[in-house]
Amino acid sequence: MEFSNRLQQLPTQFFASLVAKTSKAISEGRDVINLGQGNPDQPTPPHIVKALQDAVADPKTHKYSPFRGMKRLRHAAVEFYQREYGVEIDPDLEVAIMGGTKIGLVELPLALLNEGDSLLLPDPGYPDYLSGAPLAGIDYDTFQLKAENDFLPDYREVPEAVRQRSKLMYLNYPNNPTGAVATKEFFDDTVKFAKENNIAVVHDFAYGGIGYEGQKPVSFLQSEGAKEVGVEMYTLSKTYNMAGWRIGFAVGHSKMIEALNLIQDHLFAGLFPGVQLAAAEALTADQQCVEGLVALYEGRRNVLVQECARIGWEVEAPKGSFFAWLPVPKGFTSVEFADYLLDHADISVAAGSGFGEGGEGFVRVGLLVDESRIVEAVQRIEKLNLF
């Protein structure tokens, strides 16, 4: 039996190959410092775990949950956006609950686009954004994120032909892989660009809880008119160390939310109620755990930047997310440098070219190991005499 044409057209899973290389090195007994992963290394906060434990003990949670999410969680998302961003959300019309926001990012092209339409994606960008295009039977175009523009797209550079065929555009700030952040002015320009070109916007706010130097990342929905052109997706994976729990939500444009809910009505039968109740607790309880997590990542970021400077590796400190975007030394491609570090220093990093052509010349480093291991990693690199 052969795979369908849609499955055969799916892009190679970049992270799967990265994990395979790293796992092979570890299986050989090597002491690999894994800076290539995007998996939070801290446990889920105890009060969230306790909420799940209590929910599991209640037989009421053992039944099917509502198709479109529990009322408690939808209202928690509303409370969260009002408290954190001053944005009002209708819990019945403007919230979609998902088993992780990756589901929504892949679903939306199927739900909104038709043959001949195009998806507009950032380059470099999260590789799984590409998956929605072949599954929906559509094309995609990219816009460049350049260092000289703080890794924000310049909409003036988007060709007219691309504007005409693009119906849906993805953004992601704080950004994976670059660690860049957006400004409210940029999101204001995004709303204007979307309205002028009749393009719907999806803002992937996966790292919305992680901003440095006291700067809280900006929500797309804080810009006037944002709910008229798009949605924002928020995952609990990063803010609350709930990556394995698979829970997130989208808020914003009611028609786009309805499209998400409708396609999920046919693909899923709801999420385990216990996880939904724990997610509601995370969103509405005291947020001190988030403050502590951001401080932890910021400390690691500072150590990385200081150590790189010490050995002559000039890097930009990320302003958000738990990633750093580091330039590759002369004489290497991104893949060659990543392989060289694994082969000669037992350090795993993600090659920038895995995030698109615009990622060539960089590697992505995760701030997901202890400070001592970050120091050790840079010391190992120092011994290679590359800088």
Instruction: Give 246-294 as a 3 state SS string.
Output: CCEEEEECHHHHHHHHHHHHHHCCCCCHHHHHHHHHHHHCCCHHHHHHH
Q: Where are the domains of the chain?
A: 5-44+288-382, 63-284
- What is the tens place of the pLDDT at every residue in 27-37? 999 999 999 98
Element (H, E) at 373: helix 371-382
Residue type (1 letter), 331? G
Tokens of 167: 């119906």
Q: What is the pLDDT of residue 341?
A: 97
Q: What is the pLDDT of residue 149?
A: 96
Q: What is the pLDDT of residue 18?
A: 83
Q: Which CATH number fits domain 63-284: 3.40.640.10, 1.25.40.10, 3.40.50.720, 3.40.47.10?
A: 3.40.640.10
Q: What is the pLDDT of residue 13?
A: 76
Tokens of 140: 């995609």
Of the candidates 16, 65, 80, the residue with the CA atom closest to the CA atom of residue 275: 65
Q: Which CATH number fits domain 5-44+288-382: 3.40.950.10, 3.40.30.10, 3.90.1150.10, 3.10.150.10?
A: 3.90.1150.10
Place of tokens 């816009």: 143
Low-confidence residues of the chain: pLDDT under 70:
none
User: DSSP letters of 175-238?
Assistant: -TTT-----HHHHHHHHHHHHHHT-EEEEE-TTTT-BSTT-PPPPGGGSTTHHHHEEEEEEHHH
Of the candidates 160, 142, 35, 120, the residue with the CA atom closest to the CA atom of residue 359: 142
C-beta separation of 119 from 168 below 8 A: yes
Buried b / exposed e along 50-84 (16+ C-beta atoms within 10 A): ebbeebbeeeebeeebeebbbeebbbbbbebbeeb
The Cα–Cα gap between 95 and 254 comes to 8
The Cα–Cα gap between 282 and 249 comes to 13
C-beta separation of 361 from 334 below 8 A: yes
Q: What is the pLDDT of residue 308?
A: 98
Q: What is the pLDDT of residue 12?
A: 82
Q: What is the pLDDT of residue 37?
A: 87
